[in-house]
Structure 1
Amino acid sequence: MENQENIDKMTTLSQVMQKLSERGIQREFRMNEKSEMKFESSDKVYQPTELMILKTYRFEGDSNPDDNAVLYVIRDDAGNRGMIIDSYGADSNYSGGKFDEFLRNIPVLESDEFNF
């Protein structure tokens, strides 16, 4: 994970997802095959400026360097909160570069609210 002081508390993706779920964050923002970012069960197509990254967690596999994942806690301009989950490195969930470009253009807040 990104925050070194949290390593002993939350070390796995599933632990962080459970904690987020307890705070009401259970839905995902996902990019579809048309490179449109949508909130789960919604038809709204988001632009990066309509979203804010509240927290970033990175996970690295102990036994396999390909077991890398990143989880972003996201808030949209209407106050909806969700997450984006992606493997990173050679096995990204998204190909073609549109996803990475989209993420780079989302403003970052890195709120202490999600320091578990």
Structure 2
Amino acid sequence: MQPKPMLTLSQVLAKLAAKNVTQEFLMDENGEMKLKEKDDVYKPEDLKILRSYRFEADSSPEDNAVLYVAQANDGNIGMIIDAYGAQSNYDGPEFDNFIREIPVEEDEQYNFDNN
């Protein structure tokens, strides 16, 4: 049996949209994590990572990205997306340190590898 091909970022985004996960958490220039176009500020302990996906491009390392499905303690669910390596969307260690502090609680409903 041949291994199943890896999902692309656009395929995962489509599957998340089908589950009504369309919001994005972004870190602003002050190092504050917020839902895009909202004012609530989240600390790592306010979030949990439900699933993470890593995307690696064969042709260009500039296309490498990681997507985290995250849920806030107020019930909001969204994505945190970042290019990784030298192409990271964020300068400095603040973003990486923030992500490392978020607890991980894998949720199988966001495991699209098997679907």
| TM-score, normalisation: structure 1 | 0.90
State how far apart, in whole Å, the 1-side matches of 2:62 and 2:54 are: 13
State how far apart, in whole Å, the 1-side matches of 2:77 and 2:30 are: 23
Report the 3-state secondary structure (helix = DSSP H, G, I; strand = E; otherwise coil) of the residue aligned with 1:28: strand
Q: How far is the alpha carbon of 1:41 from its aligned partner?
A: 2.2
**Residue among 46, 50, 58 paired with 2:46:** 50
**Aligned runs of 1:1-116 on 2, under 5 Å?**
7-8=4-5, 11-116=7-112
Report the 3-state secondary structure (helix = DSSP H, G, I; strand = E; otherwise coil) of the residue aligned with 1:90: helix
Cα deviations across residues 21-64 of structure 1 (Å, max 9, x unaligned)?
01000010000011100012211111100000000000000111
Unaligned 5+ segments in structure 2 are: none
Runs of 4+ in 1 over 2 A off after TM superposition: none
State how far apart, in whole Å, the 2-side matches of 1:54 and 1:74 are: 6
Report the 3-state secondary structure (helix = DSSP H, G, I; strand = E; otherwise coil) of the residue aligned with 2:96: helix
State how far apart, in whole Å, the 1-side matches of 2:109 and 2:42 are: 24
Unaligned 5+ segments in structure 1 are: none
State how far apart, in whole Å, the 2-side matches of 1:91 and 1:79 are: 31
% identical aligned pairs? 55
Q: Please report the RMSD computed on the Cα atoms of aligned residues, expressed in angstroms.
A: 1.2
State how far apart, in whole Å, the 2-side matches of 1:61 and 1:38 are: 28
Q: How far is the alpha carbon of 1:113 from its aligned partner?
A: 1.1
